[in-house]
């Protein structure tokens, strides 16, 4: 009997590591979410990674460029709206999409993204071209140009292929730059309350370009995001200093979009 118990214990000890090896990956700890007041309750801003953020407002949840693996979204509400800005893998990530519960979600995308999404999403897709708008679930989504300068057919982000977005909800306007440079359409934005602005070379713009663009359209709050480039992370502290040296009223919010595990 004693030998049987010892054998059973040994089997149990062997089984525990096997279970641990097959357990799903654990998401890295998230940055604490911000809450921004609107006329219809708070807008919750949850940074995820790189160019991905989850916004929650008035009982609706919006995923922006879901990327980096579905475990990064564990514990968050399933999306009502998914916004995708461009075809590159750090914006349109089919593997991450496949791991999320998207059955009730509207997918708002540019045409180039719609053409590359798996067919299973066709009925949920709403295509917006630059300059078009969609009213859905109590919010307005406006597609804004995003592109590289100087304009060229072989640019990494040619004009017209991708979308930045302005979301209007609860009396607030939220700008999501996508992959862009300091373009005239960004500088011409008006009444932006919250902005998410990229700055990573050689794909988008450098810190100085981003700062000058932000100083032109004067958002109330700006989050530097999408700031990992070929040579590491951009100097977002320099961005904040440059902006606030000219305009102290712009609230530059630095958050860690890149955990040690990524």
Render each residue's pLDDT in the chain as its tens digit; 262 residues: 434 444 344 434 334 333 333 333 445 578 899 999 999 999 999 999 999 999 999 999 999 999 999 999 999 999 999 999 999 999 999 999 999 999 999 999 999 999 999 999 999 999 999 999 999 999 999 999 999 998 887 889 999 999 999 999 999 999 999 999 999 999 999 999 999 999 998 999 999 999 999 999 999 999 999 999 998 999 999 999 999 999 999 999 999 999 744 4
Specify burial of residue 170 (Cβ count, 10 A radius: 0-12, 13-18, 19+).
middle
Q: How long, in residues, is the chain?
A: 262
Q: What is the pLDDT of residue 12?
A: 41
Q: What is the pLDDT of residue 28?
A: 58
Domains of the chain, CATH where assigned = 31-252 (3.60.15.10)
Global model pTM greater than 0.75: yes
Q: What is the pLDDT of residue 9?
A: 42
Contact 205, 234 (CB under 8 A): no
Dist. CA 215–CA 145, nearest whole Å: 19
Please name the residues in contact with 49: beta carbons below 8 A apart, sequence gap of 6 or more.
67, 68, 72, 257, 258, 259, 262
Q: What is the pLDDT of residue 183?
A: 97
| pLDDT tens, residue by residue, 122-156 | 999 999 999 999 999 999 999 999 999 988 878 89
Q: Using the 8-state DSSP alphabet, how is residue 147 labeled? A: -
Please name the residues in contact with 189: beta carbons below 8 A apart, sequence gap of 6 or more.
144, 166, 175, 217, 219
Dist. CA 75–CA 133, nearest whole Å: 30
């Amino acid at each position: 009997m004693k030998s049987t118990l010892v054998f059973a214990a040994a089997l149990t000890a062997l089984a525990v590591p096997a279970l641990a090896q097959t357990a799903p990956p654990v998401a890295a700890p998230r940055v604490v979410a911000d809450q921004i007041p609107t006329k219809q309750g708070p807008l919750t801003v949850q940074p995820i990674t790189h160019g991905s953020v989850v916004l929650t407002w008035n009982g609706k949840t919006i995923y922006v460029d879901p990327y980096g693996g579905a475990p990064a979204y564990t514990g968050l509400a399933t999306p009502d709206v998914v916004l995708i800005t461009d075809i590159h893998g750090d914006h349109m990530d089919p593997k991450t999409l496949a791991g999320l519960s998207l059955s009730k979600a509207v997918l708002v995308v540019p045409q180039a993204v719609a053409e590359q999404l798996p067919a299973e999403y066709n009925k949920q897709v709403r295509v917006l071209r630059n300059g078009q708008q969609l009213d859905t679930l109590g919010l307005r989504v406006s597609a804004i140009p995003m592109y590289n300068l100087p304009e060229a057919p072989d640019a990494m982000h040619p004009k017209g292929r991708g979308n930045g977005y302005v979301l209007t909800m609860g009396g607030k306007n939220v700008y999501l730059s996508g992959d862009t440079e300091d373009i005239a359409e960004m500088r011409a934005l008006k009444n932006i309350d919250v902005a998410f602005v990229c700055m990573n070379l050689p794909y988008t713009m450098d810190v100085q370009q981003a700062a000058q663009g932000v100083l032109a359209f004067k958002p109330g709050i700006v989050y530097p995001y999408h700031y990992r480039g070929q040579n590491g992370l951009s100097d977002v502290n320099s961005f904040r200093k440059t902006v606030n040296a000219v305009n102290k009223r712009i609230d530059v919010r630095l958050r860690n979009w890149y955990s040690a595990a990524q």
